[in-house]
Structure 1
Amino acid sequence: RWKDEYLEWNPEEYPGIKDIKIPSDLIWLPDLALYDNAYEDYRGIMGGQLTVVYPSGDVMWAAPLILTSKCQIDVTYFPFDKQQCRMKFGPWQYEGSEVNMSGGAGNTSVFESDGEWEMEHLSAKANTEFYPDAPGIPYTDITYTVYLRRRPIYYVFNLITPCGLFSLVTILSFLIPAESGEKITLGITVLLSLTVFLLLVAETTPPCSTIPLIGQYYAATMVMVTLSLGMSVTVLNLHYCGSERAPVPDKVRKLVFGHLEKILRVRSKYSTKCPPLSRITTEAGVCVIPRMLKEIDCAILKACALHAHALRNKHTNSHSQLQDRRNSKREKGVTSGPDDHLLFHLLHEFRKIAIHFENRNRRENATNEWKRLAVVIDRLFMVVYIIGTISTILIIVFQIG
């Protein structure tokens, strides 16, 4: 709307004529332009339509028009971001003394949402500026600011929720037994899935120098999943140490089995409390055959040890009598019989067998200790991962707030 004093008339002289409609190219039009125009054809927005002229000289130009404007987008808090788009309208050639711009507040009720954005507010501000090419000459313009807020439901459902589910699946990888061989496979699968969704985020957001909030969340989750892979490799390395490795150090055993295992409430199936078999000497004159199968439990081993102790006491007396009889034979000049050589040969062979089984049991105990240590460390890593994941979510939430 504007006022043209050359188009005034007295309505009493022309009864019944309250307004007239004339083509806009027949009257004077202000060269109104959108300063932030992003359309290729940069011409004035006026012209080509009818105008309504009133007796007071007021002119109203109302025509359907689509304007394409450029707007600086800040995607730091995407998809919980709010945008402010400014549209600056003003004459291109007429100065402030010729055309004075005075705009009013816009109407937000005509805004139609596309499902992604909703308008929160619309403000208008009149400005007077002085440009360097025309010093001392004022130019007036009207700047409309549109405040938009993105609706994040779509992105929460399609991007954020899958990322949270991937974090939960990674927690489950710590509960997979090391013998299954699927800990690394699950971690790599989750990492590849996160990479695919991160590409979708990159396609959704416009390219800019700042990293959006959802991108930070995905990057932090990928870092946590990568760390979980390193943790799984460490656990598998401890689990498959093998019988050739040295036993668990005393300080580590005291710290892990004495304190950490109780704090984390870990119940391991790898028991290391079975008493080792004692070595058999030739003076004992007895042979203890250890267990031949791994399924024999500690109670049977204890019974075997008690039985071996009774046999050791029994055969000690027999061995002493045999030695006295042998000494008496030597004094009489009688040599040992073939039964004595066979007895000592059997004792020697049984002693080697017992030492073999004792070494095997020692290796089994050492292996079970490493496996037990791996279970405790795996549970510790799971707690660390959960704390890191919760901390990441809280940091993101605080940034949104």
Structure 2
Amino acid sequence: MNNVHRQFVLNLICLSFLVKLCSTYSYTDVDILYKNLTSGYNKQIRPVIDQSEITYIDSSFNIITVQDISEVQGTVTLSGFFSFSWIDKNLAWNPADHNNIYTMDFPENVLWKPPMVNGNAAKNIKIMTVENMMLAVQEDGRVLFFPGDSFTFTCDIDSSKFPFDTQICTMDILTWGYSNETLVFNDGLVATDLMGTNSGWELSSATITGNVFGKLAIPGVEVKFNFKRRSYFFIMNLLLPVNFLGFLNIFVFILPQESGERIGFSITALLAVVVFITIAEDILPATATPKLAALYELLIQDMALSGCIVISVILSSRIYYQKDQQAIPEWIRKCVGFKFCCCNKKHPYFNRHLTEPNSVHVLKSTDKIKVDLQKDENTNELTWETVSKFWDTVSLCFYLLWFIVGNMKFFIDTL
């Protein structure tokens, strides 16, 4: 018996679906329903029987493409369309009385709809609508409104972490002439199914929430976008080449003075960094609000580093080719002598003579070279060539430390 009853219910459901699918309505049916619904309809009045009630509007947004994000102008341009829906009780009907008509389309200038505007538009503020657009109305009086356009709105762009920056931008959609006591917008979803790929930016997340704006409590929705810059291009074309040139330039102090290539090498590296900075001017955001881009600071640092290296190489060459007859200042002797003193303390023969000053050592034939080296180290003779090598060692350590600290600061600020 239960099986017979279950089969009867299934047949009844299938029959109802078939009746619904097979039912057709004519032009006359639609015309009669259209005239019945629009007769006496006033689109200037909010569509509730009791005007003290609140009209609740569901909202969502569909992104089609992100066209441009301008750091200089502080604007975002994207295209898409909204989906707003609300209940208009004046437009409800019984499908059984109208040959099973469940949905009808009405011109947008016939029905009431909330006057929506882009509150933070970068250009003209205008009512959001599309000429000759149709509004879909369902049997229960739910109206579906799909305004679409290319939206340009303002955004506070922070490029201080360029090229690893993320931007949070909001588009404020307001209802002109209404308050939150009459209209309330519900939270919705932001759909990216139709969205194309932007070569410069990636949309990390997006939300749409109902909000109240200003002291006048204007109802509307806030669409929040989280954009992340695609940084691979800038890493491969700016960050790595400039860092490699800066790092390579430091090793100019290892080249021997006799090669005659030190000054030319350092100047070439400096000019290469300047060329990269010139190229970067067309790529980097031309703004310093609220802070200069970190990559731009790194480029300026590498240029300053290369410039100082050129000066240090010139000074090193000047010192190296000084005549030995010219006396070495005492302060230079102290600096260089402190270095050699620290190095000689680690020498085994030096330590042995410190601990056993009166001891006598039997010298073997193999110790002759060591004794000669020890005598050379303990002599007070200091040449300009030795001072030049000392200067190269100090410069190498200093600029290497400068390079490491500067890059650490860049990555700490951006990541």
Q: CA contact under 8 A between 1:123 and 1:146: conserved in structure 2? A: yes
Structure 1 pair 112/395, CA: closer, same or farther in 2 (3 Å)? Answer: same
Residues 314-329 of structure 1 correspond to what in structure 2 (within 5 A)? none
Q: Would you say the 8 A contact 1:108–1:121 is kept in 2?
A: no
Contact kept in structure 1, 2:106 and 2:135, CA below 8 Å: yes
Q: SS where residue 194 of structure 1 aligns? A: helix
Match of 2:268 in 1: 189
Secondary structure in structure 2 of the residue aligned to 1:118: strand
Unaligned runs of 5+ in 1: 132-136, 264-298, 303-364
Q: 2:178 aligns with which of 90, 94, 99?
A: 94
TM-score by length of 1: 0.67
2:217 equivalent to 1:138: yes
Task: After TM superposition, give the deviation of residue 103 of structure 1 in Å.
Answer: 3.4
Counterpart residue number, 2:92: 8
Q: Is 1:180–2:259 an aligned residue pair? A: yes
3-state SS of 1:28 partner: coil
| Deviates most, 93-102 or 158-167 | 93-102
The equivalent of 2:76 in structure 1 is: none
Pairs within 5 Å for 1:344-359: none
2-side partners of 1:197 and 1:262: how far apart?
47
Aligned counterpart in structure 2 of residue 46 of structure 1, from 106, 129, 154 = 129
In the alignment, is residue 238 of structure 1 matched against residue 238 of structure 2?
Answer: no
Give the stretch that moved more between structures: 390-399 or 75-84: 390-399
Partner residue, 2:406: 392
The Cα offsets for residues 2-32 of structure 1, whole Å up to 9 and x where unpaired, read as: 2222222222211221111122122222211
Residue 170 in 1 paired to residue 249 in 2? yes
CA distance, structure 1, for counterparts of residue 270 and residue 336 of structure 2 = 34
| Number of residues of Structure 1 aligned to a counterpart in Structure 2 | 295
SS in 1 for 2:135: strand
The 1:189–1:262 alpha-carbon spacing in structure 2 relative to 1, beyond 3 Å, is farther
1:217 is matched with which residue: 293, 298, 301? 298
Between structure 1 and structure 2, the one with the greater Rg is 1
Aligned to 2:212: 128
CA contact (8 A) 1:248 1:369 kept: no
- Post-superposition Cα deviations, 1:31-59, rounded to whole Å, max 9, x if no partner, equal 1111121244x321223211111122211
* Displacement of 1:253: 5.2
| Alignment partners' CA distance in 1, 2:344 and 2:201 | 53
RMSD: 2.7
Whether 2:150 is the aligned partner of 1:80: answer no
List 4+ stretches of structure 1 deviating above 4 A. Answer: 247-250, 260-263
Aligned: 1:199 with 2:278: yes
- Does the aligned pair in 1 maintain the 2:178–2:219 contact within 8 Å? no
More moved, 72-81 vs 105-114: 105-114
In 2: Cα distance, 1:2 partner to 1:12 partner = 23
Distance across 2 between alignment mates of 1:195 and 1:243 = 38
- Structure with more of its chain in helix, by fraction: 1
Amino acid at match of 2:110: L
Residue 154 of structure 2, aligned match among 70, 88, 104: 70
Q: CA deviation at 1:172?
A: 2.7
3-state SS of paired residue (1:69) = strand
Q: CA deviation at 1:261?
A: 8.9
Distance between the aligned counterparts of 2:335 and 2:157, measured in 1?
55
Deviates more, 1:387-396 or 1:106-115: 106-115
Identity %: 21
